Amino acid sequence: MVVLLQPVTLDSHLCVNPKCKPSPVLIPVVDLTDPDAKTQIVKACEEFGFFKIVNHGVRPDLLTQLEQEAIKFFALHQSLKDKAGPPDPFGYGGKRIGPNGDVGWVEYILLNANTHLSSTKTNAVFQQTPAIFREAVEAYIEEMKRMSSKVLEMVAEELRIEQKEKLSRLVKVKESDSCLRMNHYPEKVDDTTAKEEIGFGEHTDPQLISVLRSNDHEGLQICLKDGTWVAVPPDHSTFFVLVGDTLQVMTNGRFKSVKHRVLTNTKRSRLSMIYFAGPPLTEKIAPLSCLVPEQEDWLYKEFTWSQYKLSAYKTKLGDYRLSLFEKQLPFSISSV
Ligand SMILES: C=C1C[C@]23C[C@@]1(O)CC[C@H]2[C@@]12CC[C@H](O)[C@@](C)(C(=O)O1)[C@H]2[C@@H]3C(=O)O
Ligand SMILES: O=C(O)CCC(=O)C(=O)O
Ligand SMILES: [Fe+2]
């Protein structure tokens, strides 16, 4: 079986970057029920750090319900939403992304996937909303856990990792440090002309993988290996998977975390939900010895997920966070 490829044309009018030239690009589409899916996933992770999933098995009514409830939350009066903010990092936030001065044309809710560990800010989100919202969030988190562990299990099989659960276990266990983010990129009601705004600046996600779903409004772009930015056509019936920094390290750079950003068209509001599948805080992250047996071949030093997170929260969104964890190779070209 071959990977189903969908041609994607660059929306040149959306690009603020001079490198963003129109060119047709193929984004891999993986049917999770295809017996060849694991081969396609690994190829996509190597080439793009990004792919689209169809036949994922998530109930469409759950997606509709969660989206409707999220829309209702973001439509609340600002003073009510602010009761759940500022984010700590969980809770409600607007415009400011993270603690280091990044801003975007976005408002969001960030929730710990371990809902029993909810902070005061998280509880405040649910105090403003009907019980059905919390129930939908919890059901969605379960689905995302299932889908991310399925993908990681397929990766492990295709990479011939003896322990099939080596990667998926990290997101399945109750200690897994995963989170769910809902981003709302509002329309500008008073503006007659459509404008582009940076909704979410360019960055890579720090976790293992992220599973993203949006409504049918465009905005997401990914950066290819050659530095070109391409617009990803939205498709609300599918999910997009993004490789994160942690999986890049564990595969010793064979998979690359994908740089992405959101440029919003302020005429149409965009709503996205992203599940960041992360390992337990105490988990030691390093290249997998079954893939890279000799430590001298490791491109990264070992660190715990907790150390990486602490370090990530000291960086700005667009920083290359892995640089602190790269090993200095004894005979690099620069030292010759
Ligand atoms: C600017 C920042 C926001 C962020 C924490 C950070 O200091 C750097 C990483 C950012 C990011 C990007 C992916 C996810 O949206 C996120 C929740 C994450 O884990 O890392 C955000 C962080 C955040 O918004 O709190
Ligand atoms: O909203 C989106 O589509 C992507 C946002 C994103 O990359 C993030 O929240 O980390
Ligand atoms: Fe992201």
Walking along the chain (336 residues) 10 residues at a time, the average pLDDT comes out as 35 43 74 96 97 96 97 97 96 97 97 84 91 97 98 98 96 97 91 82 98 95 95 95 98 98 91 98 98 97 98 98 90 55
pLDDT of residue 12: 34
pLDDT of residue 202: 98
pLDDT of residue 14: 39
On the question of a cis peptide bond just before residue 24, with omega within 30 degrees of 0, the verdict is: no
Q: Alpha helices, DSSP H only, in the chain?
A: 37-47, 60-74, 78-81, 120-127, 131-158, 168-172, 245-250, 305-312
Pocket test for ligand 2, best of 220, 245, 263, 268 (most atoms within 8 A of CB): 220
* CATH of the structural domain 29-313, one choice from 2.40.50.140, 3.40.190.10, 1.10.240.10, 2.60.120.330: 2.60.120.330
Query: Atom 16 (ligand 1): residue with closest C-alpha?
Result: 205
pLDDT of residue 243: 99
pLDDT of residue 18: 47
**CA angle centred on 122, ends 118 and 125, rounded to 5°:** 145
Contact (Cβ atoms closer than 8 angstroms) between residue 322 and residue 245: yes
Pocket test for ligand 1, best of 178, 261, 309, 313 (most atoms within 8 A of CB): 313
Query: Atom 22 (ligand 1): residue with closest C-alpha?
Result: 98
Q: Does ligand 2 lie within 6 Å of residue 218's CB atom?
A: no
Note whether ipTM > 0.85 here.
yes
Q: Which of 90, 166, 95, 179 is nearest to 137 (CA)?
A: 179
On the question of a cis peptide bond just before residue 89, with omega within 30 degrees of 0, the verdict is: yes
Report pTM: 0.92
270 in active site:
yes
Tell me the C-alpha to C-alpha distance, in Å, between residue 266 and each of 72, 121, 145, 201, 288.
19, 28, 32, 15, 44
State the DSSP H helix or E strand holding residue 199, giving kind and residue range, or none if neither: strand 196-203
Q: Does ligand 2 lie within 6 Å of residue 261's CB atom?
A: no
